[in-house]
């Protein structure tokens, strides 16, 4: 017999598996981003983040030092170790490595196995042993630069904090952090203040056109903000605020108000009617009911919207690019990362991963601080 009160549903395991799968889907990219933020650029390019604990095969290029050439039986010979040359010794601090192959051209850096003899142009030969020792011979004297040696070697896993040092030490990053707070805090507080008053009016006050206003708010939820960017910026220039902090505060306020009003109105409409009516019988005005009863009881809904709005504004790039000047003094963190870090280091994924985690640090603190109110606020008004 199914449907008995107190009996667990038979598909509970399916719910648990689904939730676990969703958590893994969201968690795996985050872990990958975190691991990549501590890896070097060359190792990121060579292997995926899941192979970070293992050695990496990477291609290198170096030159045999012509100044070290000696003459043996009428041939000129250069010997040495590829791991100790000036061009690659920084990647092998101990001067030791494991050669997996070598070559004479960059198109085939592991054409020959370790220990084999490769022919060079002009009648010379090249051989590289597994431990990196090499021997170059030529019938004629070498010019100022010896022949090129290409090889692939196993590089031990390397983790570094230099990515975070470059991001945090970037010129103007401290200013960008302050600018982000300057934009985010007012752009979160202002729509909450306006939406709270509007939500109370739509929930508890009777006036003509209230239903149309509620329908308009719901309709605005599906309007893409990209449609309003250019007209709104044109309006800002006409009224004299142009690209400024005031302009971006008002822009984020307008874009966030529909969700705020909808969320708070649903919550306030679900509050016990007896409390409101008793307050009116005792002579309380609407403003007193709102500030002393409704607003304190609506804190879960206020906190849930504050999380959404704070995360949206903090991580915003498009609105910041449109409504803020392009000067260094006005850049927020997202614009700073895109213009300076991504613009000049497009292939340096370690820098970008570190920048992403630096940028998300404050939103994570806000989310975990207020997350216990999130579900309560979102489910408000769904049941009676």
Q: Which residue's structure tokens are 């939820």?
A: 221
Q: How confident is the model at residue 3 (pLDDT cuts 50, 70, 90)?
A: low
**Mean pLDDT, the chain, as a whole number?**
85
Same structural domain for residues 285 and 366?
A: yes
For position 384, what pLDDT does the model report?
A: 42
Q: Please give the Cα distance from 112 to 102 (Å, whole number).
A: 5
User: Please, are residues 132 and 82 in contact by the beta-carbon 8 Å criterion?
Assistant: yes
Q: Which of 155, 176, 198 is the last residue of a domain?
A: 155
Same structural domain for residues 45 and 91?
A: no
Q: Is residue 5 part of a domain?
A: no
Calculate mean pLDDT across residues 156-178: 86
Same structural domain for residues 180 and 238?
A: yes
Same structural domain for residues 211 and 236?
A: yes
Highest mean pLDDT among 22-26, 186-190, 373-377 belongs to 186-190
Range in 109-123, 191-205, 258-272, 364-378 the model is least confident about: 364-378
- Structural domain including 19 reads 12-51
Each residue's pLDDT tens digit, 345-355? 555 778 888 88
Same structural domain for residues 76 and 148?
A: yes
For position 1, what pLDDT does the model report?
A: 44
Same structural domain for residues 174 and 64?
A: no
For position 179, what pLDDT does the model report?
A: 93
Same structural domain for residues 44 and 82?
A: no
Q: Alpha carbon 57 to chain centroid distance? A: 28
Same structural domain for residues 35 and 85?
A: no
Q: Is residue 7 part of a domain?
A: no
Q: Which of 104, 123, 155 is the last residue of a domain?
A: 155
Q: Is residue 109 part of a domain?
A: yes
Same structural domain for residues 72 and 27?
A: no
Each residue's pLDDT tens digit, 282-338? 888 888 888 888 888 888 888 888 888 999 999 999 999 999 988 888 899 988 888
For position 369, what pLDDT does the model report?
A: 80
Same structural domain for residues 333 and 347?
A: yes
Q: Is residue 353 part of a domain?
A: yes
Q: Is residue 139 part of a domain?
A: yes
CATH code for the domain in which residue 334 is found = 1.10.3720.10
Residues in the chain: 384
Residue 382 has pLDDT above 70, yes or no: no
Each residue's pLDDT tens digit, 246-260? 999 999 999 999 999
Q: Which residue's structure tokens are 């170790």?
A: 81
Q: Is residue 187 part of a domain?
A: yes
Tokens for 246?
């005031």
What single DSSP character describes residue 195?
H
Calculate mean pLDDT across residues 355-359: 85
pLDDT, greater one: 158 or 61: 61
Same structural domain for residues 80 and 212?
A: no
- How many domains in the chain? 3
Q: Is residue 383 part of a domain?
A: no
Q: Alpha carbon 13 to chain centroid distance? A: 33
Q: Which of 131, 155, 179 is the last residue of a domain?
A: 155
Q: Is residue 1 part of a domain?
A: no
Each residue's pLDDT tens digit, 138-166? 888 877 778 889 999 888 787 888 888 88
Same structural domain for residues 25 and 72?
A: no
Pairing of strands 133-138, 125-128: antiparallel
């Amino acid at each position: 017999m199914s449907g008995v009160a107190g009996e667990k549903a038979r598909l509970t395991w399916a719910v648990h598996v689904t939730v676990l799968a969703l958590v893994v889907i969201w968690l795996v990219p985050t872990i990958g981003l975190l691991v990549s933020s501590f890896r070097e650029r060359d190792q990121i390019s060579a292997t995926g983040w899941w192979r970070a604990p293992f050695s990496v095969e990477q291609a290198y290029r170096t030159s045999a030092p012509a100044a070290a050439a000696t003459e043996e039986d009428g041939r000129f010979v250069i010997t040495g170790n590829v791991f100790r040359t000036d061009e690659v010794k920084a990647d092998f601090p101990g001067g030791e490595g494991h050669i997996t192959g070598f070559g004479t051209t960059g198109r085939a850096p592991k054409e020959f196995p370790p220990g084999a003899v490769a022919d060079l142009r002009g009648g010379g030969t090249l051989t590289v042993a597994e431990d990196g020792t090499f021997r170059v011979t030529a019938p004629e004297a070498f010019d100022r630069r010896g022949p090129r040696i290409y090889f692939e070697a196993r590089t031990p896993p390397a983790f570094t904090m230099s990515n975070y040092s470059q991001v945090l030490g970037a010129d103007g990053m401290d200013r960008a952090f302050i600018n982000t707070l300057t934009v985010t805090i007012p752009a979160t507080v202002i729509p909450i203040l306006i939406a709270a008053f509007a939500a109370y009016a739509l929930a508890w006050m009777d006036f003509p056109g209230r239903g149309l206003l509620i329908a308009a708010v719901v309709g605005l939820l599906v309007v893409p903000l990209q449609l309003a960017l250019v007209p709104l910026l044109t309006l800002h220039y006409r009224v004299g605020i142009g690209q400024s902090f005031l302009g971006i505060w008002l822009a984020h306020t307008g874009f966030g108000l529909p969700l705020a009003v909808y969320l708070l109105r649903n919550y306030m409409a679900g509050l016990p009617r007896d409390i409101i009516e008793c307050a009116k019988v005792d002579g309380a005005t609407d403003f007193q009911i709102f500030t002393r009863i409704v607003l304190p009881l609506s804190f879960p809904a206020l906190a849930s919207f504050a999380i959404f709005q704070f995360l949206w504004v903090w991580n915003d790039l498009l609105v910041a690019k449109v409504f803020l000047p392009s000067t260094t003094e006005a850049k927020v963190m997202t614009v700073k990362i895109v213009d300076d870090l991504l613009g000049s280091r497009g292939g340096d994924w370690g820098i970008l991963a570190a920048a992403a985690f630096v940028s998300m640090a404050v939103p994570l603190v806000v989310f975990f601080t207020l997350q216990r109110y999130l579900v309560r606020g979102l489910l408000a008004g769904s049941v009676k």
